[in-house]
Amino acid sequence: MKISVIGTGYVGLVTGVVFAHLGHNVICMDKNEEKIEKLKNGIMPIYEPGLEEMANKSYREGRLFYTTSIKDAVEKSEIIFIAVDTMPKKNWQTDLSSVKKVAADIGRYINGYKIVVNKSTVPVGTGDLVGKIIKKNMKKKFHFDIVSNPEFLREGQAIYDTLQPDRIIIGSESVEAAMKIVELYQGMNSVIKITKLKSAELIKYASNSFLGMKISFINSIADLAEITGSDVTEIAEGMGLDKRIGREFLNAGIGYGGSCFPKDIGSLIYTAKSLGYDFGILKEVKKVNDKRVKRFVERIKKVTKLTNRKVGILGLSFKPNTDDIREAPSLKLIELLLKDKAKLKVYDPVAMENVKKVLKNKVEYSKDLYNCVDGTDLVILVTEWDVFKNADLKRIKDGMKGDLFFDGRNVYDPQIMKSLGFRYFSVGR
């Protein structure tokens, strides 16, 4: 099938590349010329395991095309995916200006029947809005259908998630359009659920909010575990054995970050409010998460002063296997530590370049994990990269000046840390 994907951000690029891998003809369109030029030369704008090989193979074999012309993309395809940015405004309202602009362009260049599919995470009702804008901008009347097909991929395992999703949600008021999109996914071994357009739009927000709620819930249990002297990991395991609850997303820590959870939870609270519904439970989820880093720093300050202390920070990306630092707990943590006049050394396996752009010379950048901890009074682990999990702990201890280790992700065994001579603090244990 002839597909175009508008927007080559995380979701757009991965979607386009995977559809091309499945044998479809795909045009990936982006207004950013530099990005498109780089893609044509095989250079990916994001770090994602497996993406580069898959994209370049389809490009070489002539199934994947890159362009900056939306006119071309619209005219040459029957199915158009909208996967442009939907950044939040300051009040967490979703900024739909990019989506609206693409809708207007689709209206302007439409030259036959099209199925317009929303992949971007957009508030309920956006499908209808896109339809209205397309109609308003059409010079000649053509038939089109609107579909909502939300994306559930996780950064760091985007290719895997897109090829083997738990479920594929297709929301549309047109059965024919929905069936065409079902065809597109043929060959994938996943449950496909066809829903109303507006249900599909809400499923994405409801899912991410629920996962965020699981994290804030276990983080609150972790706080209680610290007061009572219990162990949050054991509690999570005990809870997770109940099939109705499940073990996943019950890892306590320094809080959730990234480009999705904070944005989607904030947006759902905003949408609900604008519809006259007070989503109290979700407001609390956000509140718990917003306080996470501050609480962690307060805990550190109960053990040691920070002024002029040398601190090694391990992990900067919002989670492992990505270079993404959007809403990363590490940045909030660094801001608070700098306020307390700590001297910071930082290290991350892939996010260093992104962090340098934000923090400039406010911190010292280390070339590897051991270089980062050498000579420090205390070490803080923020992101649970494998390289930290498999680190030579004795080497870390020997290189440090002090003995304090604060683990924001419960990576190590407290007994082992103690036996190595660390004063070790983790979350809820």
Question: Binding string to ligand UDX for residues 133 to 172, with x set by CB under 6 A, is what?
Answer: ------------------xxxxx-----------------
Of the candidate spans 15-23, 46-54, 256-264, 296-304, the one that interacts with ligand UDX by CB under 6 A turns out to be 256-264
The rounded distance, in Å, linking the Cα atoms of 94 and 319 is 24
Nearest to 119 by CA among 137, 146, 94, 88: 146
The rounded distance, in Å, linking the Cα atoms of 128 and 136 is 12
Interaction residues for ligand UDX, span 174-213 (CB under 6 A) = 208, 211
Q: 175 or 206: whose CB is closer to ligand UDX?
A: 206
At 22, which amino acid appears?
L
Is residue 428 a contact point for ligand UDX (CB under 6 A)? no
Is residue 423 a contact point for ligand UDX (CB under 6 A)? no
Is residue 319 a contact point for ligand UDX (CB under 6 A)? yes
Pairs from 272-278 (Cβ < 8 Å, separation ≥ 24): 274/93
Is residue 348 a contact point for ligand UDX (CB under 6 A)? no
**Closest distance of CB 208 from ligand UDX, Å:** 5
Q: 294 or 401: whose CB is closer to ligand UDX?
A: 294
Is residue 424 a contact point for ligand UDX (CB under 6 A)? no
Contact criterion met (CB below 8 Å) for 120 and 263: no
Of the candidate spans 63-71, 167-175, 253-261, 297-305, the one that interacts with ligand UDX by CB under 6 A turns out to be 253-261
Is residue 260 a contact point for ligand UDX (CB under 6 A)? yes
The rounded distance, in Å, linking the Cα atoms of 257 and 322 is 12
Q: 149 or 376: whose CB is closer to ligand UDX?
A: 149
Bridge-based pairing state of the strands 364-365 and 2-6:
unpaired
Is residue 385 a contact point for ligand UDX (CB under 6 A)? no
Q: Is 275 annotated as a binding residue?
A: no
Is residue 103 a contact point for ligand UDX (CB under 6 A)? no
Q: 145 or 151: whose CB is closer to ligand UDX?
A: 151
Of the candidate spans 244-252, 349-357, 372-380, 393-401, the one that interacts with ligand UDX by CB under 6 A turns out to be 244-252
Of the candidate spans 18-26, 112-120, 125-133, 246-254, the one that interacts with ligand UDX by CB under 6 A turns out to be 246-254
3-class DSSP state of 168: strand
Q: Is 16 annotated as a binding residue?
A: no
Measured at CB, which residue is nearest to ligand UDX?
A: 260
Is residue 258 a contact point for ligand UDX (CB under 6 A)? yes
Whether residue 260 lies in the annotated active site: yes
Is residue 257 a contact point for ligand UDX (CB under 6 A)? yes
The rounded distance, in Å, linking the Cα atoms of 140 and 425 is 67
Is residue 256 a contact point for ligand UDX (CB under 6 A)? yes
The rounded distance, in Å, linking the Cα atoms of 72 and 359 is 40
Give the CA count within 13 Å in the CB-facing half-sphere of 357. Answer: 7
CA-derived radius of gyration, the chain = 24
Q: Is 328 annotated as a binding residue?
A: no
**Closest distance of CB 358 from ligand UDX, Å:** 17
Is residue 318 a contact point for ligand UDX (CB under 6 A)? yes
At 268, which amino acid appears?
L
**Closest distance of CB 386 from ligand UDX, Å:** 14
**Closest distance of CB 359 from ligand UDX, Å:** 19
Which one of 13, 235, 260, 297 is the catalytic residue? 260
Give percent helix, percent strand, percent coil of the chain, each to the nearest 5. Answer: 45, 15, 40
Question: Binding string to ligand UDX for residues 214 to 233, with x set by CB under 6 A, is what?
Answer: -x------------------
Strands lying side by side in the sheet with 343-347: 364-365, 343-347, 310-314, 378-381, 404-407, 423-425
Catalytic positions: 260
Site of interaction with ligand UDX (CB under 6 A): 151-155, 208, 211, 215, 249-251, 253, 256-258, 260-261, 318-319
Task: Write out the binding residues for substrate.
Answer: 152-155, 204, 249-253, 257, 319
Task: Write out the binding residues for NAD(+).
Answer: 30, 35, 86, 121, 155, 263, 326
